[in-house]
Amino acid sequence: MGKFKKTLNERVMCKDGFSFSCQAHEGAYSSPRENGAAHYESVEIGFPSSADRLIAEYAEMSDVDPRESVYPYVPSNLVYILIAKHGGIQSGQVPRGVPEYGVTHCKKDAETTSEPQ
Over the chain (117 residues), the average pLDDT of each successive run of 10 is 65 97 96 93 97 96 94 97 97 90 67 38
- Residue 108's pLDDT is what? 63
- Residue 111's pLDDT is what? 45
- Looking at beta carbons, which pairs linking 96-101 to residues 24 or more positions away fall under 8 Å? 96/24, 96/37, 96/38, 96/39, 96/40, 97/24, 97/37, 97/39, 97/40, 97/41, 97/43, 98/22, 98/40, 98/43
- Residue 5's pLDDT is what? 56
- Residue 100's pLDDT is what? 80
- Residue 115's pLDDT is what? 37
